[in-house]
Every structure is written in C-alpha cells, then in structure tokens.
C-alpha cells in the first residue's frame, strides 16, 4: 500500500470520527430538537478555522466498546478566541451520554495540563450523565476515574470557565465548582447526581429544575455566575469574561484604548441621593465610572446586598465590589461575604486591581444570619483581604459603619492603597440612630419628648462622623467631590503598580477554594 493510500484511509477514518461522532441516528435526534453538538459549541467559541483537536482517536479501554466509542465521550483541543489561544474540552452526549471513563478523563486532564504548561485559558462545556456504567462499578474501573488531580490542584494558574448546557451530573458538576466563571443555560440542570438516582437512593422525588435548575444556582447556592438564555448567549458570556482576563496568572490583562477624558462628571450629583436612607441604582454609578459605560457583573442575583463586577477604567481591567442599597440597605450578609470573597480571590489571582465603593450600614443582624454562619463568612472575607496583593482603592460614598467598613476595603492599615471619601460620608462604629437607641434606651423612655431628645442626641453623636476627622489623622487619604470620582480614579490607574508575579510564583489567594 502506498503512502497516498495510507493517507487516504487515515483521512477517511478521521473524518468519520469527527463527522459521525456517536452515530448518525444520535446526531439526527439532536438536530430534530434544534440542539447543539459539542462540535457546534467548539466551532462557535473559536475564531473560524482555528481549532486543532487533541485526542481524536481516543476510545474506550474496554475491548467490547472500542468500535463504538469515538472520542470516548469527550472532545477537546486548542483554538483562538478573539485571536488569543484557549484550550477547550466538552462532553459529547452522542457517545455514552458524555459519561466519564478512564480514557475520557485522561483526555481532559491531558488538554488541561497543556493549557497550564503553555499559559492558556481553559473552557469546559458540561453535559454529562456522570460516571460511566458499568465501567465504574467494579473497583478496578472505579479507581481509574479519580477526580481530576490536575484541575483540583490548579491554584488559578489560568482562567477557567465552565458552561452547563444540558443535564449535567457527576464530573461536569465537579468541574463547574472548580471553575472561576460558570454560566448555565435556562432549562439545564446542574447537580451532583440525577433525580433518578436521588429517588432510588433515598426515595425523594424531585424534578430537574427543583434539584439544579438555573433559579436554584442563580439565587440560592451562588454556584453559577450568570444565567444564559441559550447556547449562543452562554458562549458569548464566556468570551466577554475572557476579554477581561489575562491569559494566565503571570500576566496582567491587556490595557485597552480609552478616551482620556479627565474632566468632572456632575451627573454623579444626581445618581446618589444625599439622604443616606434613600435607595438608588449602584449599577448606574459603576457604569458612569467605566470607560465604555459597561460592567460585567458576576452572581447578580446571589448575595444581592453587594455587587461584584468587572469593568475598565483608563483602559485597565478593574474589579468592583460595591454596596447595593436596594437590598438590605447594603448590609453585608453571609451570602454577600461568600460572593465578595470569591471575587477578591479571582481578581488577586489574575492581577486585577480592586475598587470598593462603600455605602454600608454594617452587617445584617438577627438569628437567621447568625445561624447561617455570618461570623465565619465575615472573617473569611477579612482574611482574604489581608492576603490580597493587588492594588486596592476604597471610596466611601454615604456611610460606612462597623466591621463592614474594614471588610469592604476600608483603612490603609489593612492594605488599601488609597482610601477616599465624599464630603458628606459618615464613618463610625455604628449608625448613630441605632447607637443612641441602644445606649440611651432608658433615658428616652423617661423623656417628655422622646423624638426631640433622640434627635438632639443623634446630632451630638454625628458631629464627628464625617470623613474629615479620619482625614485629619491620615486614616483617609483624601476627601473628593463626587463629580471628581471618575477623573480621580482614571488618574490613579497610572499611579498604581499593577504587575504580575514572576513566572511560576503563585499568590496565596490563588490557592483558596473556588467554592465555599
């Protein structure tokens, strides 16, 4: 047989694997419901004609399954997203429902290892029924599909995104919990195990949506960062997130062009009411500060009393952690602490400076938050900040009371590079009104006019709560006019030392868990 004949046979074999996948009948079923194959997803993610597959000829290690397991349930390789190299692996539901096995696990680990070794981001498309049966029922098969050591030990060396695009159990749920950014499409399910296994194991009957639908993870668990309308939306969200990230932990995000405007923005006067009990849209404030008027929010419906978002100021990627007065008046909760801690770890690992915008009355109090471990969550957040190494700027807008002031980046004693405040801001141990009601409870009961006496005492307590007392002893670096906020931040971006650690050196927060 000539070399040409060998090549023709090889090309035909490769084309059959890539085009037919798990079989024409399975592809027809997917097309009949307007579904996407894993190859459709990969083609949509990557720039045209940039995908190079790795492991095309992988197949099951079981002799009886070698001929009908092309790719062994996983497909992956490397391509370009907006011109940058990115590695990808996804579950192929046309082969054993995308289930995990010895060879498919090896294929995923191999591609992930290549991503780390070469410093490229990694994307995972999840839609799998879990571990393959009966392959993993005996001790030999089971011992060969250990959780991914490569990904478990990654320490945020590279940005990792995961998309849950169908019913995803077992390995795919584990991968999503290890990712930095997770998006889930409506109608999909993300859970450790399927409703059928739950019913057989404990007799509980539960539906897919109730067990692990988008509402569960978007609002209750915080396991995902964004909800996607469909597959196109999910992939677009991943591309947007990657656009804010560096390629790896030893680079800084690419600085973009910006308009250079350093003039005042008097619209800020109208965005934030001076009366500190009135709510307002903090997202509008954040958008007014960014170069393009856009922010990329993470976990918008979880821990809603704070906002965590990426944006660009003076062309640089920045991370915002901002109070949200529309929920619990901006008070910190166990859920918001979880969200904020995860975000701080991500920004620090990928060399993204942090900007804290404070309008916080303190921590939420009561039996429920105590039972939800607010103490542990608050201290976890505080510990993350003490280990954080990227530049941090804190702006106090209207109020900052109690430990929440320090938790949201207050005080340069805790590592903030700059702490500034608006002239009307109040800073202190607690809201003066609450303090007066607690300290002078008995006196107020005896007062002829309790309201007048309360107002008098509050007036006395609030004399020194403004920012000028702290600014006078250099615990606040500067007091700025609200209209100067955008220009002040833009100027400050050029003063900050934004750099990556030496190649191979990892920051402490890179090793913190990706879930809490």
Q: Quote the pLDDT of residue 420.
A: 93
Q: How far apart are CA 395 and CA 355, in angstroms?
A: 8
Closest CA to 162 of 189, 139, 147, 181: 181
Q: Quote the pLDDT of residue 433.
A: 66
**48 pLDDT above the threshold of 70:** yes
Q: Quote the pLDDT of residue 122.
A: 97
Q: Binning pLDDT at 50, 70 and 90, where does residue 53 land?
A: very high
More confident residue, 17 or 302: 302
Sheet with 84-91, edge to edge strand ranges:
52-53, 74-81, 84-91, 122-126, 160-164, 181-185, 226-228
Tens digit of each residue's pLDDT (9 = 90 or more) over 142-153: 665 666 677 777
Q: Binning pLDDT at 50, 70 and 90, where does residue 272 land?
A: very high
Tens digit of each residue's pLDDT (9 = 90 or more) over 200-248: 889 899 999 999 999 999 999 999 999 999 999 999 999 999 999 999 9
Closest CA to 465 of 387, 361, 366: 361
Report CA-CA distances (Å) from 10 to 1, 2, 16: 13, 12, 10
Query: Strands (DSSP E) along 67-204, which ranges?
Result: 74-81, 84-91, 122-126, 160-164, 167-168, 181-185, 189-190
Tens digit of each residue's pLDDT (9 = 90 or more) over 346-369: 999 999 999 999 999 888 888 999
Closest CA to 131 of 118, 116, 146, 149: 146
**140 pLDDT above the threshold of 70:** no
What percent of the chain has a predicted confidence (pLDDT) above 70?
Answer: 92
Q: What is the mean pLDDT of residues 410-416?
A: 75
Structure tokens at 251: 């680079």
What letter does residue 94 receive in the DSSP assignment? T
Q: Quote the pLDDT of residue 173.
A: 86
All structural domains of the chain, each given as residue ranges with its CATH number in brackets, are: 3-244 (3.90.226.10), 268-425+466-511 (3.90.226.10), 430-464 (no CATH)
Q: Binning pLDDT at 50, 70 and 90, where does residue 515 land?
A: confident
**410 pLDDT above the threshold of 80:** no
Q: What is the mean pLDDT of residues 157-176?
A: 91
**24 pLDDT above the threshold of 80:** yes
Q: What is the mean pLDDT of residues 298-314?
A: 97
Mean pLDDT of the residues in the chain: 88
Q: Quote the pLDDT of residue 277.
A: 81
Tens digit of each residue's pLDDT (9 = 90 or more) over 439-495: 666 776 777 777 777 777 666 665 567 788 888 888 889 999 999 999 999 999 888
Beta bridge partners of 394: 356, 419
Q: What is the mean pLDDT of residues 110-130?
A: 92
Q: Binning pLDDT at 50, 70 and 90, where does residue 317 land?
A: very high
Tens digit of each residue's pLDDT (9 = 90 or more) over 377-404: 989 999 999 999 999 999 999 988 888 8
Q: How far apart are CA 165 and CA 474, in angstroms?
A: 52
Structure tokens at 383: 């510990």
Q: How far apart are CA 510 and CA 497, in angstroms?
A: 19
Q: Quote the pLDDT of residue 134.
A: 67
pTM of this prediction exceeds 0.85:
yes
Q: Quote the pLDDT of residue 1.
A: 75
Tell me: cis bond preceding 137? Omega within 30 of 0 counts.
Answer: no
Q: How far apart are CA 341 and CA 361, in angstroms?
A: 19
Q: What is the mean pLDDT of residues 256-283?
A: 88
Please work out, in degrees rounded to the nearest 5, the angle formed at the alpha carbon of residue 355 by the alpha carbons of 259 and 281.
85
Q: Quote the pLDDT of residue 51.
A: 96
**21 pLDDT above the threshold of 90:** no
**138 pLDDT above the threshold of 60:** no
Q: What is the mean pLDDT of residues 303-307?
A: 97
């Amino acid at each position: 047989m000539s070399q040409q004949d060998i090549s023709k046979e090889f090309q035909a074999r490769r084309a059959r694997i890539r085009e037919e996948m798990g079989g024409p009948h399975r592809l027809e079923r997917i097309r009949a419901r307007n579904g996407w194959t894993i190859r459709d997803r990969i083609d949509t993610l990557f720039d045209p004609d940039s995908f190079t597959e790795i492991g095309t000829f992988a197949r099951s290690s079981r002799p009886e399954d070698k001929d009908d397991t092309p790719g062994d349930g996983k497909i992956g390789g490397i391509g370009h997203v907006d011109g940058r190299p990115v590695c990808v692996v996804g579950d192929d539901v046309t082969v054993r429902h995308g289930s995990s096995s010895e060879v498919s696990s090896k294929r995923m680990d191999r591609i992930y290892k290549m991503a780390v070794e070469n410093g490229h981001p990694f994307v995972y498309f999840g839609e799998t029924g879990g571990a393959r049966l009966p392959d993993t029922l005996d001790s030999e098969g089971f011992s060969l599909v250990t959780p991914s050591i490569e990904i478990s030990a990654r320490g945020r060396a590279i940005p990792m995104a995961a998309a849950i695009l169908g019913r995803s159990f077992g390995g795919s749920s584990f991968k999503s919990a290890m990712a930095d950014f997770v998006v889930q499409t409506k109608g999909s399910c993300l859970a450790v195990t399927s409703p059928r296994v739950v019913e057989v194991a404990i007799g509980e009957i539960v539906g897919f949506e109730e067990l692990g639908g988008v509402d569960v993870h978007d609002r209750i668990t915080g396991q995902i960062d964004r909800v996607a309308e469909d597959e196109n939306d999910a992939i677009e969200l991943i591309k947007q997130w990657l656009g804010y990230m560096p390629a790896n932990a030893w680079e800084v995000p690419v600085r973009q062009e910006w308009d250079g405007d350093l003039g005042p923005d008097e619209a800020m006067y109208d965005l934030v009411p001076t009366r500190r009990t009135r709510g307002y849209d903090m997202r509008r404030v954040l958008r007014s500060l960014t170069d393009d008027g856009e922010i990329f929010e993470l976990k918008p419906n979880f821990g809603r009393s704070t906002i965590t978002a990426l944006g660009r100021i003076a062309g640089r990627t920045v991370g915002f952690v901002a109070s949200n007065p529309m929920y619990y008046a901006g008070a910190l909760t166990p859920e918001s602490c979880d969200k904020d801690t995860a975000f701080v770890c991500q920004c620090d690992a990928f060399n993204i400076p942090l900007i804290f915008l404070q309008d916080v009355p303190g921590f939420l109090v009561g039996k429920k938050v105590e039972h939800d471990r607010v103490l542990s969550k608050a201290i976890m957040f505080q510990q993350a900040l003490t280990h954080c190494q990227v530049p941090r700027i804190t702006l106090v807008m209207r109020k900052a009371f109690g430990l929440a002031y320090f938790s949201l980046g207050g005080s340069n004693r805790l590592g903030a590079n700059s702490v500034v405040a608006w002239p009307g801001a109040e800073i202190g141990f607690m809201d003066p009104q609450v303090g007066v009601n607690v300290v002078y409870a008995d006196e107020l009961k005896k007062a002829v006019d309790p309201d007048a006496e309360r107002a008098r005492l509050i007036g006395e307590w609030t004399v020194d709560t403004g920012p000028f007392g702290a600014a006078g002893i250099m615990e606040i670096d500067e007091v700025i006019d609200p209209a100067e906020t955008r220009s002040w931040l833009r100027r400050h971006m050029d003063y900050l030392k934004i750099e990556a650690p030496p190649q191979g050196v990892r920051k402490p927060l890179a090793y913190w868990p990706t879930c809490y």
